[in-house]
Structure 1
Amino acid sequence: MAERLVPKISLKDFDNRKDEIREQLIRAAETAGFLTLVDHGISAEEIEAQFSISKAFFALPKETKGKTPHSTKTNNGWEYKAQLRPSTGTYDQKESLWLQRHSTWPNDEDVPGFSTTTTSFMNKCAVISDQVLSCLAIGIGFPEDYFREANDPHQPDCLTQLRLIHYPASKDALGTWRAGNHTDIGCLTLLFQRDGEDGLEICPGRESHSSTGTGDIFTPLPAETGPIVVNIGDMLMAWSDDRLKSNFHRVRAKDVGNSPSRYSIAYFNQSRRDFVLQGPKKKYPPMTVGEYFHQAVQRNFG
């Protein structure tokens, strides 16, 4: 069932297959709002190297991780079980490290190779994001470079973030939410998972970017090292006049037995704060990305 809902799309020979790939991406974005990328240019070894950096950071004492404190103003830094989900009324059972290119990062003395490995990884994520976003831009009626410009991570007002996530092992969380039902506020998310560290479930069925309605069934999406899970965010749903679907997803603990540690890495394309957001059909009034974020946070978290 998961394969039917979430198509696997190859980016191999992208420049020569762009039309074919664009059709596949648009079809997936209009239905499930999720897809899996293969042949994307980041090797399994490079992905594991970034996961090794992540695991090394989360293994540090709390005092050391706290040297990169979470800021509620910028949403960067280390947080521990701090995200309250209105969908569950409880805090997500995870810790995470939010990073922007110019935010404070853990130093290489505490985590050897952190800066070099993470910078290279973010650069590769940006290239893949550009490929996907260029196809989606054309598909919904914008110029090819439109979303590339809107999500340029080198611009000082860009809100794009990398998030390293750790769900600690649990013996008493059977069937509960490691991360409650939610959609992503931003534009486009690249999610990296590891073999055997399952829990992600998705639920198509949303009709507008501000709707809280879901479909009837959440479908598990098994974790694999290598393929990238890609999903549409609320912002891109609004930007496409609700044509591309930002759907609900969650991370669920096992129904039977202990839930081991789960690590994931998310690259959130969140666009530039001062960029004006409005779809080609002008279904919604124009507003800046910064204004959209503020309204979305108020809507989702009060």
Structure 2
Amino acid sequence: MTQATYALDELNKEARMGQLGVEKVADGDAIPKISLRDFDARRAEITDQLWAAATEVGFFQLVDHGLPQEQIDEAFAWSARFFDLPREVKEKTPLRKADNVGWEFSSQVRPSVGVPDQKESYQITKPRMDGLWPAEEDLPGFRAFMDGFETRCWEVAMQVLSCFADRLGFERDFFAAAHDPSSPEYQSTLRLVHYFPLTEEQVAAPGLWRAGAHTDFDCLTLLFQREGQHGLQVCPGRDLDAPEWTPVPPGDDAITCNIGDMLMRWSDDQLLSNFHRVRSPLPGEYTGARYSIPFFAQANRDVVIRTPQGKYEPITAHDYLWQRITANYGTRREPTA
């Protein structure tokens, strides 16, 4: 398949997911909930549960994951403090698209809907943050906290990925080495997201999305949500013609995880990277600000993705991500190191 054919195919897939589709009634069992309690003793059991969830739904929620609730709450508090800064302060850390770092405001347009997501976000990719951390006098303590929180997210992600490595026939620490944070090629990203509060007029208006339907380009996404701030939905099965959207319940104690395109390829398409979106509230639902914090575990730029069964040609993580970005957004400028 040529790059042009691949790009057109991926763009067509996502563009077809902009329809409202059918929204399923919330079902507490639709998204598997997996406990990481006593991980070493229960590794085989946990691996079976993760594999089943990743091959059948592509989404699951982790509980008993080891991150203190106080630390998660503090991460959301820091996120709110950042987004509450005056615009002119946030503009000191502008988005650098080539490196996926910095602050953006209502600028991400999904091919599925063709309008900007109703949000602002701040991306942290550690080796590429020169000049893009808020100044200490503007937000004292922010950088130190986020640096530590990103590390904890990485640890949980690698714990999960080690289970997938077992099932795929890789060495147990295979993905940890592929996501080595000490390397200058490290490109995993922590993102702070603030979805804007909506007025009654906006809620009633058609075509407004907090985040249009998309798949993630990474290996594994860890998502922190807040209790009561609904809207995230997944479409299991990648059904493009008659999508059915399943709510993903928010909860303070659970980390919502989903498989990304990179890991789907790395597993010879055994693990599912499914479409998901954040719809706007319906009349009568909570319309205030919505905050979320995703961590995107994506392999270091120089890592070569070789699949166990050889379904796909080897490709570096850098080239794969660039291929996915150009397929969706038609970007022409090569990322800088």
Q: How would you bin the TM-score normalised by the shorter chain?
A: over 0.9
Number of residues of Structure 1 aligned to a counterpart in Structure 2 = 297
In 2, Cα distance between the equivalents of 1:184 and 1:242? 14
CA contact (8 A) 2:162 2:173 kept: yes
Deviation at 1:5, TM superposition (A): 2.5
Q: After TM superposition, where is structure 1 displaced by more than 6 Å over at least 4 residues in a row?
A: none
Q: Bigger CA drift: 274-283 or 2-11?
A: 2-11
Deviation at 1:15, TM superposition (A): 1.1
Q: TM-score when scaled to structure 2?
A: 0.85
In 1, Cα distance between the equivalents of 2:314 and 2:27? 36
Deviation at 1:215, TM superposition (A): 6.1
The amino acid across from 1:173 in the alignment is Q
1:290 aligns with 2:318: yes
1:240 aligns with 2:260: no
Match of 1:228 in 2: 255
User: Residue 173 of structure 1 is aligned with which of 198, 202, 226?
Assistant: 202
CA contact (8 A) 1:204 1:214 kept: no
In 1, Cα distance between the equivalents of 2:310 and 2:287? 46
Match of 1:145 in 2: 173
In 2, Cα distance between the equivalents of 1:2 and 1:58? 33
In 1, Cα distance between the equivalents of 2:62 and 2:240? 27
Match of 2:290 in 1: 262
1:94 aligns with 2:119: yes
Q: How does 1:171-210 map to 2 (within 5 A)?
A: 171=199, 172-174=201-203, 176-206=208-238
Unmatched 5+ stretches in structure 2:
1-25, 331-337
CA contact (8 A) 2:198 2:287 kept: yes
Q: 1:275 to 1:214 in 2, by over 3 A?
A: farther
Q: Bigger CA drift: 171-180 or 90-99?
A: 171-180
The amino acid across from 2:82 in the alignment is F
In 1, Cα distance between the equivalents of 2:90 and 2:242? 39
In 2, Cα distance between the equivalents of 1:196 and 1:115? 28
Match of 1:117 in 2: 145
Deviation at 1:100, TM superposition (A): 1.2
Deviation at 1:133, TM superposition (A): 0.5
CA contact (8 A) 1:10 1:38 kept: yes
1:219 aligns with 2:272: no
In 1, Cα distance between the equivalents of 2:241 and 2:27? 17
In 2, Cα distance between the equivalents of 1:4 and 1:31? 13
Give the CA RMSD over aligned residues.
Answer: 1.4
Q: How does 1:61-72 map to 2 (within 5 A)?
A: 61-72=86-97
1:48 aligns with 2:68: no
Q: Bigger CA drift: 89-98 or 102-111?
A: 102-111
CA contact (8 A) 2:215 2:276 kept: yes
Q: TM-score when scaled to structure 1?
A: 0.95
Q: 1:43 to 1:146 in 2, by over 3 A?
A: same
The amino acid across from 1:48 in the alignment is D
CA contact (8 A) 2:100 2:125 kept: no
Match of 1:209 in 2: none
CA contact (8 A) 2:226 2:252 kept: yes
Which deviations, in whole Å up to 9, do the C-alpha atoms of 1:68-100 show, x marking residues without a partner? 111122121000000011100101010000011
CA contact (8 A) 1:203 1:214 kept: no
Match of 2:335 in 1: none
Structure 2 SS opposite 1:218: strand
Deviation at 1:106, TM superposition (A): 1.5
Deviation at 1:197, TM superposition (A): 1.0
Q: Bigger CA drift: 101-110 or 276-285?
A: 101-110
In 2, Cα distance between the equivalents of 1:76 and 1:214? 35
Deviation at 1:226, TM superposition (A): 2.1
In 2, Cα distance between the equivalents of 1:178 and 1:137? 34
